[in-house]
């Protein structure tokens, strides 16, 4: 286990020095990496929040960005900014507070925002000069304006609305060497599910479902010059009609992309085909559980029956789309045999990637309130609320059994035997799959050096282009298969629930 991936860089003692007026610095604090999972996933894409704030920064302000997870050390002391914006998440809140204290000791104005400000505002507020809750692109320019005018308030709140009017992100502040792709995209906000364990279920705050104009999204992708983009929407498939329009507009770009969707996009096989023809090479899907009872208890709506999962995964594979399945462990209907069942399911269905999470009751979610009322919370040490530790008493196993089952699933799916067992059925897709899998899942000892030496984009880029070229060839086959044949169109195999 690499100490550099587990321990935040040491902050030097504060030393008085003049601040650079009208300079702002955005900081993404360090957080400890799960040794069971891939270190590479932490540098796939930069946080879109930061580039969005950069795009919303008023003229006349100089802006910089520092991500401690790129292993370049603590934020630099030279040219200290007048204003520092720090994002705060549950698991790295203590590091955010340490950074805030350090910058405030230099006289900087510290502004905090992020999910933890939404769920635990009273905890966050004492650590900063101003706190932003809600839509950051609305509050950030107001905060900077108030600093200029000498009327800074303690709290700023903006509702999660006005999405279409948000300014375009400014990615020039992001280091292009630091990530697999600098292109994080977003087309929609909100999700039609409201699972009781999800951060989107925090308190009474709801993110109304909103979409950006398709033309703006496509133009942003085109102008980026990047061959690969990652849609970070909670669920790009919430509105099937919108997704279809987006796919048809993306198709001429000859680029590739991946996105999180819910499994119900497979209700319409033609939509999955349109995703593939538009350049979709991978989907992240929150399967959550193989138990219908668990899904019902969690409040996950519009979810197909678990008995239908295999056929729906096959539909993605038929269209050349890789599946990264996300599973939550420790629901009330889970027992010690669930780990073996899940590991076998992932392999039997040739899922290219799987992500596992221990059920975690985030503060101020329905799950947290229920667990607390039942006396099942073991502690409230937020640094361990990272989905890699058990922080509650499971119903049918011990916390130790749950943590060991979680670790065993990662050992299994990251093993060479499992990687080989899950290789694509199409022989031509195997080399690219193995290259990605070995780098992503088997290279943790190398990732510290790859990241520290600023090689992430350089290492990934050839694999990205290989995937793009292979997908374009595959897409030609799909297009030929869909061409009229003797007056009839080919129709993808129709999924019929329960068959």
Note the pLDDT of residue 254: 97
Note the pLDDT of residue 1: 60
327 pLDDT exceeds 70?
A: yes
What's the pLDDT tens digit per position in 345-354? Answer: 999 999 999 9
273 pLDDT exceeds 80?
A: yes
196 pLDDT exceeds 50?
A: yes
What's the pLDDT tens digit per position in 115-133? Answer: 899 889 999 999 999 999 9
If you compute the radius of gyration of the chain from its CA atoms, what whole number of angstroms results? Answer: 23
Residue that wins the pLDDT comparison between 209 and 291: 291
Lowest mean pLDDT among 1-15, 76-90, 388-402, 447-461: 1-15
Lowest mean pLDDT among 29-43, 155-169, 372-386: 155-169
Note the pLDDT of residue 21: 97
231 — pLDDT class (breaks 50, 70, 90): very high
198 pLDDT exceeds 90?
A: no
What's the pLDDT tens digit per position in 423-458? Answer: 998 888 898 899 889 988 889 989 999 999 999 999
487 pLDDT exceeds 60?
A: no
Residue that wins the pLDDT comparison between 491 and 269: 269
376 — pLDDT class (breaks 50, 70, 90): very high
- What is the mean predicted confidence (pLDDT) over 333-339? 97
Residue that wins the pLDDT comparison between 218 and 210: 218
44 pLDDT exceeds 80?
A: yes
Note the pLDDT of residue 302: 62
What is the pLDDT of the chain when averaged over all its residues? 90
CATH 3.40.50.2300 domain position(s) in the chain: 3-164
Note the pLDDT of residue 298: 80
Note the pLDDT of residue 227: 96
Note the pLDDT of residue 493: 46
Could you please state the CATH topology (level 3) that the domain comprising 3-164 is classified under: Rossmann fold (3.40.50)
Note the pLDDT of residue 428: 83
166 — pLDDT class (breaks 50, 70, 90): confident
Note the pLDDT of residue 97: 98
- Cα distances (Å, whole numbers) of residue 347 to 132, 174, 341, 342, 409: 44, 37, 10, 9, 11
194 pLDDT exceeds 60?
A: no
Note the pLDDT of residue 167: 85
Note the pLDDT of residue 306: 87
228 pLDDT exceeds 60?
A: yes
Share of the chain above pLDDT 90, in %: 77
- What is the mean predicted confidence (pLDDT) over 456-464? 93
CATH 3.80.30.20 domain position(s) in the chain: 183-480
Q: What is the pTM of this model?
A: 0.91
Most confidently modeled range among 131-140, 328-337, 460-469 = 328-337
Share of the chain above pLDDT 70, in %: 91
Note the pLDDT of residue 201: 53
488 pLDDT exceeds 60?
A: no
Domain 183-480: assigned CATH number: 3.80.30.20
Note the pLDDT of residue 200: 58
- What is the mean predicted confidence (pLDDT) over 167-175? 91
Please enumerate in sequence order all residues whose Cβ is within 8 A of that of 336, keeping only pairs 6 or more positions apart, or say none. 396, 397, 401, 405
């Amino acid at each position: 286990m690499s100490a550099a991936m587990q321990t935040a860089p040491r902050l030097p003692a504060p030393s008085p020095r003049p601040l650079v007026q009208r300079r702002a610095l955005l900081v993404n604090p360090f957080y400890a990496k799960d040794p069971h999972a891939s270190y590479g996933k932490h540098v796939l894409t930069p946080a879109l929040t930061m580039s969005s704030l950069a795009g919303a920064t008023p003229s006349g302000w100089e802006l910089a960005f520092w991500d401690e997870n790129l292993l370049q050390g603590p934020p630099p002391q030279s040219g200290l900014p007048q204003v520092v914006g720090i994002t705060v998440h549950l698991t790295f809140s203590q590091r955010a507070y340490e950074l805030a204290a350090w910058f405030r000791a230099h006289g900087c104005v510290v502004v905090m925002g992020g999910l933890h400000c939404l769920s635990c505002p009273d905890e966050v507020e004492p650590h900063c000069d101003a706190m932003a809750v809600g839509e950051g692109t609305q509050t950030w320019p107001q905060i900077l304006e108030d600093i200029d005018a000498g009327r800074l308030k303690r709290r700023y709140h903006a509702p999660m609305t006005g999405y279409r009017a948000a300014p375009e992100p400014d990615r020039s502040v992001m280091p292009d060497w630091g990530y697999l792709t600098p292109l994080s995209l977003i087309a929609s906000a909100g999700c039609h599910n409201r699972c009781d364990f999800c951060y989107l279920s925090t308190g009474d705050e709801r993110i109304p479902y909103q979409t950006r104009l398709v033309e703006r999204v496509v133009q942003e992708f085109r102008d980026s010059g990047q061959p690969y983009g990652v849609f970070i929407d909670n669920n790009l498939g919430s509105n099937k009609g919108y997704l279809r329009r987006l796919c048809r507009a993306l198709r001429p770009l000859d680029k590739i992309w991946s996105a999180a969707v819910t499994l119900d996009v497979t209700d319409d096989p033609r939509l999955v085909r349109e995703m593939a023809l538009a350049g979709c090479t991978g989907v992240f899907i929150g399967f959550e559980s193989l138990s219908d009872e668990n899904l019902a208890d969690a409040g996950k709506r519009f979810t197909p029956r678990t008995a239908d999962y295999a056929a729906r995964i096959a539909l993605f594979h038929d269209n050349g789309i890789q599946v990264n399945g996300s599973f939550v462990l420790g629901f009330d209907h889970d027992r010690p045999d669930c780990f073996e069942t899940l590991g076998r399911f992932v392999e039997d269905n040739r899922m290219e990637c799987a992500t596992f999470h221990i059920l975690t009751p985030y503060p101020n979610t329905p799950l947290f309130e229920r667990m607390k009322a039942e006396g099942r919370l073991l502690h409230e040490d937020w640094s361990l609320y990272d989905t890699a530790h058990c922080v509650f008493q499971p119903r049918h196993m011990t916390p130790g059994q749950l943590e060991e089952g979680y670790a065993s699933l990662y050992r299994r799916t990251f093993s060479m035997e499992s990687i080989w067992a899950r290789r694509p059925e199409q022989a031509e897709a195997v080399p690219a799959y193995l290259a990605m899998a070995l780098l992503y899942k088997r290279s943790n000892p190398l990732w510290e050096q790859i990241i520290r030496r600023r090689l992430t984009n350089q290492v990934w880029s050839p694999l990205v282009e290989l995937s793009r070229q292979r997908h374009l060839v595959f897409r030609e086959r799909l297009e030929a298969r869909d061409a009229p044949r003797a007056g009839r169109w080919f129709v993808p195999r129709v999924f019929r629930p329960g068959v």
